[in-house]
Amino acid sequence: MIFGRNRTARHEQVTLPEHLLEERDLAVAAAAGDAAREAERGPHDVTARPSATGYIDLGALRVRAVQGMKLRLDLEDATRRIVAVTVTVGGSALQIQAFSAPRAAGLWDDLRAELMDALGSSPGAHVQEQAGAFGPELLTRIPAEMPDGSPGWNVARFVGVDGPRWFVRGVFHGEAAFRPDAAGPLEQVFSDLVVVRGEGPLPPRELLPLHAPANAQPVQRRHRPAEGAETTPTASSGEQPAGDAPLPERGPEITETR
């Protein structure tokens, strides 16, 4: 009987050594590896990463603690609310913002086009779209004056990831914006992010609420370095606050400046 079921049959799976694999076998194996890495790459929804162990809890965002990193909370002048988180490692910085998004569609395609129009309108600016570790991203160069008065560039790299009813945007500054070999630590910080969206209804593009770490201690505000002054020209981006009110610090690795 040709199509009968043989209950005594044994099926064994064997793995061929690489030198015996055909080209198509290698392509299939590489695709499977890429798919696994893609599934592991974040940011992640809290339903996939529920444990807060090893993370700094900032409300809608959880940031994995990394040796030697500094974390700054960026405030909005008018409301004094936290609108962004900036992580600094070495000579590079990463500003992170989280937004609500529609259930059926992401935001990054539309926001990327808006950023290209807004940033590209600056005199002498160069804006290009490229493929990156998190998908399509923007690399921008805007003319700026160096501390010694000579002409230079303000370089930034914008990345975005759409999640279930949320969107996270990252802006790389410093060496991580234009040197791939320097971007690894901050790219890992961005990939390890966990988003706590909440179940309440929110309009699209609404900033998700952030708060200072639970065990934060107030410190006197210090002036923000010049290289951290960039803010994106969109309605959702927040400026740093003025004034001398004390702001939170969580241990020696987390500070907040303006």
Q: Looking at this protein, which amino acid is placed at residue 143? A: P
Whether residue 198 lies inside any domain: the answer is yes
Does residue 217 belong to any structural domain of this protein? yes
**Within a domain: 23:** no
CB atoms within 10 A of CB 6: 7
Q: Does the residue 148 lie in any domain?
A: no
- Residue 93 counted as domain residue: yes
196-233 pLDDT per residue, tens: 999 998 999 999 999 998 766 555 454 443 333 333 33
Q: Which domain holds residue 91?
A: 57-107+155-249
C-alpha triplet 126, 131, 136: angle, nearest 5°: 85
Is 201 a domain residue?
Answer: yes
In a domain, 147, yes or no: no
Residue 189 has pLDDT above 90, yes or no: yes
Q: How many domains does the chain have?
A: 1
pLDDT number for residue 252? 30
pTM over 0.85: no
